[in-house]
Structure 1
Amino acid sequence: MTATANTAGARSGRGGAPFLYVVVCAAGIAVEVSKLITAAQERDWEVGVIATPVALGGFFDTAAVEAQTGRPIRSAWRRPGDPRPFPPPDAVVVAPATFNTVNKWAAGLADTLAVGTLCEASGLGVPLAVLPCVADALAAHPAYRASLERLRGMGVRFGDPYAGEGDGDGGRGEFHWERALDLLEPGDRPQETPLPR
C-alpha cells in the first residue's frame, strides 16, 4: 500500500507526496535509520528527519541522511521569521525511541524540538508510530510503563520493544524498521505489542 493510501489522500510534500517526520533518538541502532528512510520512500513517503540533540551528535551519519532525504536534519527550534524547512507532517515515526524521550513526551516536557514536535503532533491528531529501544531494566521502571499507557491512550501505536541485546549468535537482534510504517496503515492495522508486565 502506498503512503497516499496511508494518509487518506493527504499531500504535503514536494510533488504532492505525503510527508513523514522521522524522529531519531540517541540509541546505538540509530546508525541504521537509513533503512527506515528507504522503506518509507519505497512506500511513496517524502521524509524529513528530526533528531534529538544527543542523537545528532554522532549516533548516525547525518550527511548520508541529508543526502537521502534531500533535506536538512532538524534538531533546533526555528527563530522567529525563519522559513519552515518541512511541510506539516501527515504522520510521524519515532525510531529508535528511547526511555528519556518516551517519558518526556508523555509528561509534556517539550524541552527539545523532537519532543516538542511529538507533543504538538499528538495534539493535532497526526498518526504516530513508535519503535522503542529501551533496555529491559529501564522498561521495568514504573514511570516508563505509565508513559506507555498514557501515550497509547492518546492513540500512539507501538511496535515490539527492542533492548539491543544479543541474538544468541553474538550479534544484536534485528530492529524491525518497517514495522513503524505498518503501524501507520489505516483499517487493518497490525496487532500492537502488549505493554510489558
Structure 2
Amino acid sequence: MKRPVLYLFGSAAPPVQQFPDVARGALAAGFEVCVGLTPTAARWLDGEVPLLEELTGHPVRSVYKQPADPDVWPPADVLVFAPVTFHSLNAWALGLTYHFVVGVAAEGIGKGIPTVAMPCVNTAYVQHPQFDRSVATLRGAGVSVLYGPGGFEPNEPGKGRPAGYPWDLAMAEATRVARTTP
C-alpha cells in the first residue's frame, strides 16, 4: 500500500529545530516525508539537513529548482506548514511566492492539496491588522489554520515556549485530512 506523501514545511521560528523528531513521528505514523524550509530556517537547520535527508530519503529543499531540473519529490497528499511565521503566513495569504515553501503552499491551494498551517507568532505580531486578514484568507481558501483555542496560542514577545509547540495537533490534523481526501 502506498504511504501518503507529507510535505513538512517550516519557517524560522524556534520549533523548526524539532524537525528531526517531527519527521521521525510522521514516518512512524505511516507518511512518506519531504522536508521544505524557508532559507532562514534552512540556515538554522544546516547541521540537521543530512539527518533529515537520511531519515526521509528525499533532499531537503529551500529554494526553487532550475526550470530544466527534474522534480525530485513525489506529489503531496497533504502539506503541513508549521511553524509558519508572521512573515511567511502573510506572504502566503497575499500570494507573494519568493520563498520555495510559500510558493508550493500557495500552489497547493489551487491543486486541492489538503493543507494544515500552524503559526508560531507572539502577541505583538497578532496585533498587526494583516495577521487576522491572512488567517481568514487562508481559512477561506480551505487551509486548516490551527490558531487560537484548539491550536497554537501566542506567547508574549520574548517568552517563547518552543518545547510546548503543539506538534501533536498539526500531525493529528494532517492524518485526518490525508485520510478524508479521496
TM range (shorter): 0.7 to 0.9
The alignment's TM-score, normalised by the length of structure 2, stands at 0.86
**How many residue pairs align between the two structures?**
173
Tell me if structure 1 keeps the 8 A contact 2:4–2:178.
no
| Structure 2: gaps spanning 5 or more residues | none
Partners of 1:90 and 1:81 in 2: CA distance: 24
Q: Deviation string for 1:17-41 (max 9, x for gaps)?
A: 2111011100112111122212211
Q: CA deviation at 1:58?
A: 1.7
1:173–1:187 distance in 2 versus 1, CA, 3 Å: closer
The alignment's TM-score, normalised by the length of structure 1, stands at 0.80
Equivalent residue in structure 2 for 1:179, among 137, 148, 169: 169
Partner residue of 1:63?
50
Partner residue of 1:193?
none
3-state SS, counterpart of residue 161 of structure 1? coil
Partners of 1:86 and 1:187 in 2: CA distance: 18
Equivalent residue in structure 1 for 2:132, among 145, 149, 152: 145
Q: What amino acid sits opposite 2:100 in the alignment?
A: L
Equivalent residue in structure 2 for 1:98, among 78, 85, 95: 85
More helix by share: 2
Tell me if structure 2 keeps the 8 A contact 1:35–1:177.
no
> Which stretches of structure 1, 4 residues or longer, exceed 3 Å deviation after superposition?
162-166, 170-173, 186-189
Tell me if structure 2 keeps the 8 A contact 1:28–1:59.
no
Partner residue of 1:194?
none
Partner residue of 1:38?
24
| Structure 1: gaps spanning 5 or more residues | 1-14, 190-197
Q: CA deviation at 1:59?
A: 4.1
1:18–1:186 distance in 2 versus 1, CA, 3 Å: closer
1:55–1:76 distance in 2 versus 1, CA, 3 Å: same
1:58–1:164 distance in 2 versus 1, CA, 3 Å: farther
**Percent identity over paired residues:** 32
Q: Which moved more, 1:154-163 or 1:43-52?
A: 154-163
Q: What amino acid sits opposite 2:27 in the alignment?
A: Q
Q: CA deviation at 1:48?
A: 0.3
Which is greater in Rg? 1
Matched, 1:87 2:74: yes
Q: Deviation string for 1:82-141 (max 9, x for gaps)?
A: 111101100100111100000000000111111110110011111001121001100121
Equivalent residue in structure 2 for 1:29, among 10, 15, 20: 15
Q: CA deviation at 1:171?
A: 6.3
Q: CA deviation at 1:173?
A: 5.2
Please tell me the root mean square deviation across aligned C-alpha atoms, in Å.
Answer: 2.5
